[in-house]
Amino acid sequence: MKKTLIIFLSILLMGVSVQKAAAQYEYHDDLYFSKNYVYEVGASIGIMNCFTDLGGTKGVGKSFIKDRNLGNSQIDASIYVSLMYKYAVALRLEVTLGHVKADDKSLESVKTTTYGRYERNLSFKSKINEVALIAEIHPRYFKKFDDGDKLPRLSPYLMGGIGFFKFKPQAKLNDEWVNLQPLSTEGQGFAEYPDRKPYNLTQLVIPVGIGVKYKINPLLNISLECASRILFTDYLDDVSTTYIDPSLYSHYFSGSQLNNALLLNDRQKELNPTHNSSIGWQRGNPGNNDSYFTFSIKIAALL
């Protein structure tokens, strides 16, 4: 993350000298040079958040943005390179690094409305490492421009692509962060639950979103972008279905792994020591996959 921030600041400083370099190019006018294909190298910084089974807002859980909890936002950053065709279409390869987290305890102030979500008492955090190939569509550049025409400085755009992301959900136990996926907290991989397969920590991601780009000068631009990630897993937070029979853990685990699985699959006793969850009680909602999203500011130099 620190290296990404250094790259971001370096690109920003490039703007001090781009006006001198701009004189080397052939121009449509005094603002833009005439090349069909232009490379763009940039970086971004912003916030990353997620929609999962955990945390959220009051009630039993709402879909997508209605269940937002902006207090969970974390810093994210990226670096990228793009190939643009006449400023109308761009294809960029981007690496994004960030974090996501959620916690049922954030519902404490509205716990009387959450029908057990607060009492469930689960939480997670995860690093996100994403590599994606993304297309940008800039409608304002689709018209034909004659020599001498002023090209627009401000360009709203649509974006979408495909990529892969790595995650590793963890929960805090006795002041230590414990990896959740190896603990099969919902019986993933157990013979007693053949429909619950272990989930992969590297998966497909579909970024989609909108943005607006502003040309500062011929060789430097800045963008604001909001992008959501469509995921094909409900286990970003390690929560999806129902509670299992905890006695099964001794058939598969031993030592500290057994202890961690028993403590982390059901954490309701931490709030209510007399509580006992029944096998099959709802732990999460498998009807909706998880997702994460970013709001970012991007700055790029044209080559």
Look up residue 178 and give its amino acid: V
Q: pLDDT confidence of 150, banded at 50, 70, 90? A: confident
Read off the pLDDT of each residue in 263-278 and give the average, rounded to a whole number: 92
Q: pLDDT confidence of 26, banded at 50, 70, 90? A: very low
Q: pLDDT confidence of 22, banded at 50, 70, 90? A: very low
Residue with tokens 């099969």: 184
Instruction: Among 30-34, 91-95, 180-184, name the one with the lowest average pLDDT.
Output: 30-34
Tokens of 131: 């590599």
Read off the pLDDT of each residue in 76-91 and give the average, rounded to a whole number: 96
CB atoms within 10 A of CB 231: 21
Q: What confidence score (pLDDT) does residue 103 get? A: 93
Read off the pLDDT of each residue in 58-74 and give the average, rounded to a whole number: 65
Look up residue 4 and give its amino acid: T
Q: What confidence score (pLDDT) does residue 34 get? A: 62
Q: Say which residue, 7 or 258, is predicted with more confidence.
A: 258
Q: Cα torsion at 233, 237, 238, 241 (round to 10°)? A: -70
Cα→Cα distances 125→129, 167, 179, Å: 13, 9, 10
Q: What confidence score (pLDDT) does residue 67 get? A: 60
Residue 155 CB-density burial (10 A; 0-12 exposed, 13-18 middle, 19+ buried): buried
Instruction: Please tell me which of 96-100, 110-114, 274-278 the model is most confident about, judged by mean pLDDT.
Output: 96-100
Read off the pLDDT of each residue in 205-229 and give the average, rounded to a whole number: 96
Q: What confidence score (pLDDT) does residue 35 get? A: 75
Q: pLDDT confidence of 70, banded at 50, 70, 90? A: confident
Type and span of the H or E element at 117: helix 117-120
295 bridge partner residues: 47, 226
Rounded to two decimals, what is the model's pTM? 0.85
Cα→Cα distances 129→6, 22, 97, 203, 273, Å: 18, 35, 5, 11, 38
Instruction: Express as a percent the part of the chain with pLDDT over 70.
Output: 84
Read off the pLDDT of each residue in 174-184 and give the average, rounded to a whole number: 96
The mean pLDDT of the chain is: 87
CA–CA dist 123, 105 (Å, integer): 8
Q: Say which residue, 94 or 148, is predicted with more confidence.
A: 94
Taking the alpha carbons at both ends of the chain, their separation in whole angstroms is 25
Look up residue 149 and give its amino acid: D
Q: What confidence score (pLDDT) does residue 220 get? A: 94
Pair 68, 106: CB distance under 8 Å: no
- Show the domains of the chain with their CATH numbers: 2-177+198-236+286-302 (2.40.160.20)
Tokens of 11: 């690109």
Position 143 pLDDT exceeds 80: yes
Q: Say which residue, 257 or 217, is predicted with more confidence.
A: 257
Q: Provide, for the chain, the percentages of residues in helix, strand and coil under a 3-state DSSP scheme, each rounded to the nearest 5.
A: 20, 40, 40
Q: pLDDT confidence of 24, banded at 50, 70, 90? A: very low
CA–CA dist 143, 196 (Å, integer): 52
User: What does the pLDDT look like over 166-175, one tens digit per residue?
Assistant: 999 999 999 9
CA angle in degrees (0–180, nearest 5) for 64-224-91: 90
CA–CA dist 252, 258 (Å, integer): 8
Handedness of CA 188, 190, 193, 194 (dihedral sign): positive
Position 98 pLDDT exceeds 70: yes
Q: What confidence score (pLDDT) does residue 2 get? A: 53
Pair 77, 90: CB distance under 8 Å: no
Pair 62, 56: CB distance under 8 Å: yes
CA–CA dist 125, 72 (Å, integer): 10
